[in-house]
Amino acid sequence: MDIKILHIDSNNPILWEQLEQAGFINHADFTSSKQEIESKIQDYNGIVIRSRFKIDKQFLDKATNLQFIARVGAGLESIDCDYATSKNVALIAAPEGNCNAVAEHTLGMILSLFNKLNIADSEIRSGEWNREKNRGHELDGKTVGIIGYGNMGKAFSKKLRGFDVEVLCYDIKENVGDANARQVSLQELQQKTDVLSLHIPWTPETDKMVNSDFINAFAKDIWIINTSRGKNIITADLVTAMQSGKVLGAGLDVLEYEKLSFETLFQDKNTPEAFQYLLDGRKVILTPHIAGWTYESHERLAQVIVDKIKALYGKN
């Protein structure tokens, strides 16, 4: 039986090429609307997608011959996973494909915040030479708290091995700690952490998890890094904590206001007040959801997806 795969987003060429070599039939459609894709999806056994649109019950009901959905990325929040599973549709993701990229980006954000690299660079370009104002902090001696200790969290803790830091992790799964991070309760993590790094998916449990109560439960004033999902943090509450000094700085690769596709920010004419504070803030580093978006991870993500699709059909 020929296995027909519809590619809904562009990816590294090796994904297409290696699937073709393995005997799969590839078709691409990067421009049609969701409704137009739904009208022909019954012809396909597999879908390869990044985040172009949500694969919901309506879509899955029309995909009568679907055997798998492969998302070239870490999270599956754009897919109705329970409904897909109930229809015996295999779900494939590649969190191991970009975890190193995320880990390096996270560390880069921390070091840039601590040493005010973005501020100092901007000031020099505008003719200012401020040494005392840009005195930095050292990571050594701090406690780093990681929430979410899967592929991303573990990769980040590995990067911290060269620093004299205590690394704690909290996860809903038991016994995930390792030589690089000691697993603790959320209460202990909040008691000891100086730098908080989020490596969690976006689920009903993590949606708006970082709010005022959550932040104020930390015993120390903290730095927050978020390379997971924007909606895990209530931006207005983060800003309130920054204004009070409870949050000393924030590195945000993801924003509450992002579209589901991650390709654009909100299109509203009025910028939310909290977001304007971030844009104006000296203690904030913002990047456009690129923590896992390196040249190397682009290829690695594609390779992981290829290998998993081939394994599904016993072609490895």
Q: Where in the chain does DSSP place strands (E)?
A: 4-7, 25-28, 46-49, 68-71, 90-92, 143-147, 166-170, 182-183, 195-198, 222-226, 247-252, 284-286
Amino acid at site 158:
K
Query: What is the per-residue burial (b if ≥16 Cβ within 10 Å, else e) of 209-245?
Result: bbeeebbeebeeebbbbbbbbbbbbbbbbbbbbbeee
Please identify which of the residues 289, 298, 299, 300 carries the catalytic annotation: 289
Q: Which of 261, 255, 293 is nearest to 275 (CA)?
A: 255
Please identify which of the residues 77, 229, 256, 300 carries the catalytic annotation: 229
Q: Answer yes or no: 229 catalytic.
A: yes
List all residues 6 or more positions away from 35 whose beta carbon is below 8 Å from its beta carbon.
none
The answer to whether 47 and 19 have CB atoms below 8 angstroms apart is no
Q: Which of 164, 143, 146, 166 is nearest to 155 (CA)?
A: 146
Q: Answer yes or no: 52 catalytic.
A: no
Query: What is the per-residue burial (b if ≥16 Cβ within 10 Å, else e) of 274-309?
Result: bbebbeeeebbbbbebebbbbeebbbbbbebbbebb
**Cβ-based burial of 154 (10 A; exposed 0-12, middle 13-18, buried ≥19):** buried
Please identify which of the residues 258, 282, 296, 299 carries the catalytic annotation: 258
Start-to-end CA distance of the chain, whole Å, equals: 17
Catalytic residues: 229, 258, 289
